[in-house]
Structure 1
Amino acid sequence: MQAATVSQHGGSLDEVVRVANGVVKPALRRGKGEMVVRVLACALAPGDVRVWSGECDLMQSPGFFPYIPGGDVCGVVEDVEPGAPFKVGDVVISMFGPSAAGPGPAGGLAEYAVVGVKRSTLKPPSLSPLEGAALASSGLTAFTAAAKIRPSDRVLVLGGAGGVGSSIVQLARRRGASFVAATSTQRELVASLGAHVVHDYTREEWWTLPAYKAAPFDIVFDCVGGLAGWPTCSASGAVKSASQGGRWITIVPDEPNFHIHSVGQALGHLRPILGRAIASRAWPPTTRVRPRYTYHLGIDPVHLLGATADAAAKGEFKVVLDSASPLPFTADGVLKAFHLQRSKHAHGKLVVQVAPHA
């Protein structure tokens, strides 16, 4: 079969990422809760870049080389054990997770892939395979994070044009938010998704604006991290304190380019996150001057993948694809997808169309 392969951690993407023929087609392992699918589309995610880079090899490493990248797919079931909730011919959406291809997001950028039965759901007919692959993990993250929005909340989404942020903007409006603001250089795109105001973060510092100090946000979703995140903004007065019901939900940590090669580094990464979460809850309510802090770890309840797909099918939110999508399943197409994902400037999801479909 044809598959994209990565030959090593790090190095030049142009040198280590290939699309090769003659790769052995994966076989179903009996008793493992898996199935083989013929891949129609595969979406990239930040985890695909981390696996290639080796920056988090303690937790995200394929364990062998070359490996097949890509974990979020939409495909047609080719082989599945009797008694499974799917049958041959079903079109399914599957999200990354342990599989025959190795731990972490791997195996989807190929003509055939092994996916977990419990990490899959039927694709609603109204969604395209491209949309199905795109919502597998980022849509689920947005769907579960947005469940924390209360009617009449004033909501801010940092990174409103990204794969997760673009869905949260839409879901915030559906859940009755009274005001939705977002940061992005893509003003028209994010405004079309329902944001009342879009701030170009390259031109203005939203947390300094008097309007937000007069009417601070109830909840902030940080899909960007970096210097404009929690350390800079949480004490600005533009977000309500925990005692006033203010909440800060971090999807991306302060330092998006973190490295985890050891248990010590993992603990060092988690220490400030846990410290903020505890401090924003432990002090008496009247002394909590910053919002309540939650790190949305991306460990989403997989059983809600079906509910996420149904919500998209009903029009509660639409999956936003980057303008480069769909990328072709060629060496140039796969490399372009990786370069765009690495740049962190994709607007929506990057999806490779592996096979033609209606």
Structure 2
Amino acid sequence: MRAALYDRYGPPEVLYVGKVPTPDVKPGEVLVRVRAVGVNGGELSGRAGKIKLVTGRRFPQRTGIDFAGEIAVVGASVTGVRVGEQVWGILPRRMGSAAEYVAVAAQKVSPAPENLTPEQAVSLVTGGTTSLTALTDKSALRPGERLLVRGGSGGVGSVGVQVGKMLGAHVTALAGAKNLDFVRGLGADEVFDYRAAGPAELGTFDVVLDTVGTQHRAFRRLLAPGGRMVAVSFDIDNGLRSLSYILASALQGSRRVRFFSGNPNTELLARLARYVEDGSIREVVDTVRPLTEIGEAHRALEAGGVRGKHVLRVE
């Protein structure tokens, strides 16, 4: 089968589409014929060699974590799914979804929203499951509370704004100047250009959803008593200091910073699908390219200014 690969760490130009064996299906797994994948920030860091302690030095390496497609093979002992069913999901703790097929545990996929194409659906998988976990499980955002979303136009932030409104919060978002109207269209009550408005000018918040990963200390100061900050990213280039601050904040004071790494299951994916189907959350596709243009998609995400998610169609 075809898959996106790279033989060394480096810029987007190292990516290419090559041939790899189609994965075997183990008991408890399903084989998914992938139709679309998203491009996520963690994949850029992996390709650039910024997380070598995790990705190692064996090549070629794969990329891609989320996917939308249909069930091609059902493994032994799997029940409740059928061949041909449209599904979406995320590979647990590994990369490799940018390919024609993925083998994945059955409890890591769920029926995709019936009202979306695979390209539309995959734009919501990572951002949607991350935002739901951050704003419901980790911070318990309540109606009437004030929410600040950093990176409001990105793949996670654009869904976080929608989830915040769905939960009844007053949503303030930070984004680039060219994307302010886009974020307002997602439902944000207030939107600020992050280059023009410093943290001290924003007021206080009950919850801060940080998808950027920098200035944790400055944005933590914006929390009201009992406020919660959820960081879904941290500064990889200054990783030890950034992560140390997050861990220290969890041990002292009432304004704590929570950090988590998403690993959604069928239940969470199904919950997200229900919100999409009832219109509470809508797709956030920036561009759709063929898999062969994965390098261009990585380059576009690195350039910034994204409105939702860059998506790759696996033809």
TM-score (norm 1): 0.80
Q: Residues 190-229 of structure 1 correspond to what in structure 2 (within 5 A)?
A: 190-208=183-201, 212=203, 216-226=204-214, 229=215
Shift of 1:302: 5.5
Show the counterpart of 1:105.
95
Deviation by residue 1:179-234 (Cα, 9 ceiling, x = unmatched): 2111011110000111111100112224235xx2xxx22111111122xx322233
Report the Cα distance in structure 2 between the residues aligned to 1:91 and 1:190, rounded to whole angstroms.
Answer: 29
Deviation by residue 1:72-121 (Cα, 9 ceiling, x = unmatched): 111121112244232211111020225xxxxx222x22222222322111
Report the Cα distance in structure 2 between the residues aligned to 1:68 and 1:348, rounded to whole angstroms.
Answer: 23
Report the Cα distance in structure 1 between the residues aligned to 2:184 and 2:41, rounded to whole angstroms.
Answer: 25
Shift of 1:294: 1.6
Show the counterpart of 1:140.
129
Shift of 1:165: 0.9
Deviation by residue 1:10-65 (Cα, 9 ceiling, x = unmatched): 22331x21123xx144132333x32222211011112212221222222344x632
Q: Residues 216-295 of structure 1 correspond to what in structure 2 (within 5 A)?
A: 216-226=204-214, 229-235=215-221, 238-241=222-225, 245-253=226-234, 255-258=235-238, 270-281=243-254, 291-295=255-259
Distance 1:193 1:96, change over 3 A: same
Report the Cα distance in structure 2 between the residues aligned to 1:299 and 1:35, rounded to whole angstroms.
Answer: 17
Distance 1:175 1:90, change over 3 A: same
Q: Helix, strand or coil: the match of 2:194? A: coil
Matched residue type, 2:15: V
Show the counterpart of 1:315.
279
Distance 1:302 1:137, change over 3 A: farther
Structure 1 window deviating more from structure 2 (85-94 vs 183-192): it is 85-94
Give aligned-pair identity as a percent. Answer: 29
Q: Helix, strand or coil: the match of 2:73? A: strand
Show the counterpart of 1:288.
none
Shift of 1:160: 0.7
Matched residue type, 1:35: V
Unpaired runs of 5+ residues, structure 1, are 99-103, 260-264, 282-290
Pairs aligned (count): 309
Q: Helix, strand or coil: the match of 1:207? A: helix
Residue 339, structure 1, aligned to residue 299, structure 2: yes
Distance 1:187 1:270, change over 3 A: closer
Deviation by residue 1:312-348 (Cα, 9 ceiling, x = unmatched): 22211113122xx211222xx2111111233444221
Show the counterpart of 1:284.
none
Identify the structure with the greater strand proportion. Answer: 2
Show the counterpart of 1:285.
none
TM-score (norm 2): 0.90
Shift of 1:131: 2.4
Matched residue type, 2:10: G
